[in-house]
Amino acid sequence: MSSFKERLKAGGPVIVMNPDHPSPSLVEFIGRLGVDAVMIDTEQGSPDVESVENMARAAKVAGITALVRIFAPEPWVIERYLFRGVHGLVVPRLDTADQARQVVEDVRYCFPRNHDEKIVVVQIETAAAVADLDRFLAIDGIDCFFIGSVDLSKSLGHRGDYHHPAVKSVLEDTVARIRAAGRAAGMMVKEGDVTEWRRRGVAFHYTHLNEYAELGARAFQQLLAKA
């Protein structure tokens, strides 16, 4: 079992960063930031298959875990990206536990002897998925349940406003249910809410390199202003 999987199982925290650009060099740079994993995004980002392979290779050189967020939970997509050298998948667009169970079966089909070494993260990002959460949590072979707060806010009728009280309540309840089941919860975290979500038991902390750069730039500018 990989140290990343072990830390997730133990409740984390792990930091997972989206490089935001299809660049192996950036992945190597991220490896020097104390980050645990990169999430190469083929759902909303621009990496193609060759880029994924090269970025996964860079992650190996950097000594960090490489995950790829696929663009669809289809068997051929899962197979295509798992064989690019990544350590695991982040799987969006799941409304039912049956879909998630099929993802696990597809991973096992690709790696019948060592499927348990692969990391499987499923996204909970619709009202339908939240309604079916108990059945999701009963599935073996899933390492983390990543709550997509922005998409979930849209599904709940509060487009993009994941701080809306109604959305926040669902987010808090969903994290609590995941933790009560002894499973790992993940979320996108921002500068102002890291402490709260960690206190609530979130293990998988997802962020973007662009946001890290913005934070660093602001901190440097503030230091310069005081000089």
Query: What's the pLDDT score for residue 81?
Result: 97
> Would the pLDDT of 184 be above 60?
yes
- pLDDT tens, 33-51? 999 999 999 999 999 999 9
- Where b means 16+ CB within 10 Å and e means fewer, 172-209 reads eebbebbbeeebbbbbbbeeebbeebbeebbbbbbbbb
> Would the pLDDT of 9 be above 90?
yes
Which residue segments constitute the domains of the chain, with CATH numbers given? 3-226 (3.20.20.60)
